Amino acid sequence: MSKLFLRHGEVHNVKNIMYNDIPGYRLSENGISQAKKAGMYLKNNFNIDLIISSPILRARQTSSYVAEFLNVEIQISYNLYEWSGINGWTGTSFNEFSQTQDYPKYQENPINVTNISESLHKVYERVDSLYESSENALFVSHQDTIRAFTYYKTEGKDFNYEKPDHCGIQEIINGEVVTHNY
Protein backbone atom coordinates (compact mmCIF):
# COMPACT_ATOMS: atom_id res chain seq x y z
CA MET A 1 0.00 0.00 0.00
CA SER A 2 1.42 3.37 -1.04
CA LYS A 3 0.77 6.62 0.81
CA LEU A 4 3.01 9.25 -0.68
CA PHE A 5 3.37 12.99 -0.27
CA LEU A 6 4.34 15.27 -3.13
CA ARG A 7 5.12 18.92 -2.61
CA HIS A 8 3.90 21.14 -5.44
CA GLY A 9 6.34 22.28 -8.12
CA GLU A 10 8.27 25.53 -8.18
CA VAL A 11 6.07 28.62 -8.22
CA HIS A 12 6.19 31.60 -10.60
CA ASN A 13 6.96 34.24 -7.98
CA VAL A 14 8.37 37.31 -9.75
CA LYS A 15 7.74 39.54 -6.71
CA ASN A 16 9.72 37.13 -4.52
CA ILE A 17 7.13 37.26 -1.73
CA MET A 18 5.73 34.89 0.85
CA TYR A 19 2.70 33.91 -1.26
CA ASN A 20 1.21 31.38 1.16
CA ASP A 21 -2.47 31.19 0.12
CA ILE A 22 -2.65 34.33 -2.04
CA PRO A 23 -4.68 33.37 -5.15
CA GLY A 24 -3.03 33.14 -8.56
CA TYR A 25 0.43 31.83 -7.77
CA ARG A 26 0.87 29.27 -10.53
CA LEU A 27 3.66 26.88 -11.38
CA SER A 28 6.72 28.23 -13.17
CA GLU A 29 7.96 26.52 -16.34
CA ASN A 30 10.46 24.69 -14.15
CA GLY A 31 7.62 23.70 -11.79
CA ILE A 32 5.69 22.20 -14.71
CA SER A 33 8.78 20.23 -15.73
CA GLN A 34 9.25 19.05 -12.12
CA ALA A 35 5.63 17.87 -11.94
CA LYS A 36 5.93 15.91 -15.19
CA LYS A 37 9.17 14.31 -14.03
CA ALA A 38 7.50 13.36 -10.73
CA GLY A 39 4.55 11.90 -12.65
CA MET A 40 6.83 9.68 -14.71
CA TYR A 41 8.72 8.52 -11.61
CA LEU A 42 5.49 7.73 -9.77
CA LYS A 43 4.07 5.85 -12.77
CA ASN A 44 7.18 3.66 -12.99
CA ASN A 45 7.59 2.97 -9.27
CA PHE A 46 4.27 3.02 -7.41
CA ASN A 47 0.68 1.86 -7.58
CA ILE A 48 -1.33 5.05 -7.06
CA ASP A 49 -5.13 4.84 -7.31
CA LEU A 50 -6.00 8.38 -6.29
CA ILE A 51 -4.48 11.84 -6.06
CA ILE A 52 -5.71 14.02 -3.21
CA SER A 53 -4.70 17.65 -3.64
CA SER A 54 -4.72 20.88 -1.73
CA PRO A 55 -7.19 23.29 -3.38
CA ILE A 56 -4.48 25.93 -3.89
CA LEU A 57 -3.66 26.53 -7.58
CA ARG A 58 -0.03 25.38 -7.55
CA ALA A 59 -0.98 22.06 -5.92
CA ARG A 60 -3.92 21.53 -8.30
CA GLN A 61 -1.67 22.21 -11.29
CA THR A 62 0.98 19.81 -9.99
CA SER A 63 -1.74 17.18 -9.47
CA SER A 64 -3.02 17.62 -13.02
CA TYR A 65 0.39 17.13 -14.60
CA VAL A 66 1.06 14.05 -12.45
CA ALA A 67 -2.41 12.62 -13.19
CA GLU A 68 -1.61 12.67 -16.92
CA PHE A 69 0.93 9.93 -16.21
CA LEU A 70 -1.07 8.00 -13.63
CA ASN A 71 -4.49 8.22 -15.28
CA VAL A 72 -6.24 8.55 -11.92
CA GLU A 73 -8.90 10.75 -10.36
CA ILE A 74 -7.98 13.90 -8.46
CA GLN A 75 -9.89 14.79 -5.31
CA ILE A 76 -9.53 18.16 -3.62
CA SER A 77 -9.23 18.34 0.16
CA TYR A 78 -8.88 21.36 2.41
CA ASN A 79 -7.13 19.04 4.87
CA LEU A 80 -4.04 19.49 2.68
CA TYR A 81 -4.30 23.29 2.62
CA GLU A 82 -1.22 25.44 3.14
CA TRP A 83 -0.32 26.15 6.77
CA SER A 84 -1.29 29.76 7.42
CA GLY A 85 2.20 30.47 8.70
CA ILE A 86 3.35 33.38 10.80
CA ASN A 87 0.82 36.18 11.23
CA GLY A 88 1.78 39.14 9.05
CA TRP A 89 4.17 37.32 6.70
CA THR A 90 1.83 36.61 3.79
CA GLY A 91 2.43 39.12 1.00
CA THR A 92 5.74 40.37 2.38
CA SER A 93 9.07 39.95 0.61
CA PHE A 94 11.51 37.33 1.81
CA ASN A 95 13.80 40.20 2.83
CA GLU A 96 11.01 41.82 4.88
CA PHE A 97 9.86 38.76 6.80
CA SER A 98 13.42 37.60 7.44
CA GLN A 99 13.90 40.80 9.48
CA THR A 100 10.98 40.06 11.85
CA GLN A 101 11.50 38.81 15.40
CA ASP A 102 9.66 35.57 14.52
CA TYR A 103 12.04 34.62 11.71
CA PRO A 104 14.88 33.28 13.90
CA LYS A 105 12.33 31.23 15.87
CA TYR A 106 10.87 29.87 12.63
CA GLN A 107 14.33 28.99 11.32
CA GLU A 108 15.31 27.30 14.58
CA ASN A 109 12.08 25.39 15.16
CA PRO A 110 8.65 26.48 13.83
CA ILE A 111 6.98 24.42 16.55
CA ASN A 112 7.99 27.11 19.05
CA VAL A 113 6.53 30.08 17.14
CA THR A 114 3.43 31.50 18.83
CA ASN A 115 2.47 34.33 16.43
CA ILE A 116 0.28 31.99 14.36
CA SER A 117 -3.40 31.37 13.73
CA GLU A 118 -3.05 27.56 13.37
CA SER A 119 -0.59 25.38 15.25
CA LEU A 120 1.49 22.89 13.31
CA HIS A 121 -0.03 20.15 15.47
CA LYS A 122 -3.49 21.15 14.19
CA VAL A 123 -2.10 20.88 10.65
CA TYR A 124 -0.88 17.37 11.49
CA GLU A 125 -4.33 16.41 12.82
CA ARG A 126 -6.18 17.53 9.69
CA VAL A 127 -3.72 15.72 7.40
CA ASP A 128 -3.67 12.59 9.58
CA SER A 129 -7.44 12.15 9.32
CA LEU A 130 -7.09 12.03 5.54
CA TYR A 131 -3.96 9.88 5.61
CA GLU A 132 -5.49 7.22 7.84
CA SER A 133 -8.61 6.90 5.67
CA SER A 134 -6.76 6.54 2.34
CA GLU A 135 -4.92 3.76 0.52
CA ASN A 136 -2.65 3.89 -2.54
CA ALA A 137 -2.93 7.66 -2.50
CA LEU A 138 -0.72 10.55 -3.49
CA PHE A 139 -1.20 13.62 -1.30
CA VAL A 140 -0.19 16.83 -3.10
CA SER A 141 0.40 19.63 -0.67
CA HIS A 142 2.84 22.23 0.67
CA GLN A 143 6.21 22.15 2.41
CA ASP A 144 5.22 23.05 5.97
CA THR A 145 1.95 21.10 5.74
CA ILE A 146 3.80 17.95 4.68
CA ARG A 147 6.55 18.49 7.23
CA ALA A 148 4.09 19.09 10.07
CA PHE A 149 2.51 15.74 9.25
CA THR A 150 5.75 13.77 8.93
CA TYR A 151 7.26 15.46 12.00
CA TYR A 152 4.44 14.48 14.34
CA LYS A 153 3.73 11.11 12.69
CA THR A 154 7.35 10.01 13.17
CA GLU A 155 7.84 11.81 16.50
CA GLY A 156 10.55 13.91 14.88
CA LYS A 157 13.25 15.72 16.79
CA ASP A 158 14.03 18.51 14.29
CA PHE A 159 11.21 20.14 12.34
CA ASN A 160 13.60 21.57 9.75
CA TYR A 161 15.03 18.15 8.90
CA GLU A 162 13.44 16.37 5.93
CA LYS A 163 11.49 19.34 4.53
CA PRO A 164 10.46 18.37 0.99
CA ASP A 165 11.84 20.27 -2.00
CA HIS A 166 9.63 21.33 -4.90
CA CYS A 167 8.08 18.13 -6.26
CA GLY A 168 9.85 16.17 -3.55
CA ILE A 169 8.27 12.77 -2.92
CA GLN A 170 8.16 11.42 0.62
CA GLU A 171 6.57 8.55 2.49
CA ILE A 172 6.73 7.10 5.95
CA ILE A 173 8.19 3.61 6.19
CA ASN A 174 8.62 1.91 9.58
CA GLY A 175 8.26 5.22 11.39
CA GLU A 176 10.87 7.03 9.29
CA VAL A 177 10.54 9.67 6.58
CA VAL A 178 11.86 8.33 3.28
CA THR A 179 12.60 10.81 0.49
CA HIS A 180 12.56 9.43 -3.04
CA ASN A 181 15.24 10.91 -5.26
CA TYR A 182 14.60 10.69 -8.96
Confidence at residue 116, expressed as pLDDT on a 0 to 100 scale: 93
What's the confidence (pLDDT) of residue 112?
Answer: 86
* Buried-exposed string 131-164: b where 16+ CB fall within 10 A, e elsewhere: beebeebbbbbbbbbbbbbbbbeeebeebeebbb
Model confidence pLDDT, tens digit, residues 52-66: 999 999 999 999 999
Question: Domains of the chain, with CATH numbers?
Answer: 3-180 (3.40.50.1240)
First to last CA, the chain: 20
Q: What is the pLDDT of residue 160?
A: 86
* pLDDT at residue 158 in the model: 87
**Which parts of the chain have pLDDT scores under 50?**
none
pLDDT number for residue 13 = 96
Residue 58 marked in a binding site: yes
Number of residues in the chain: 182
Q: What is the pLDDT of residues 97-120, one digit of tens each?
A: 999 999 999 999 999 899 999 999
Give the model's pLDDT for residue 61: 99
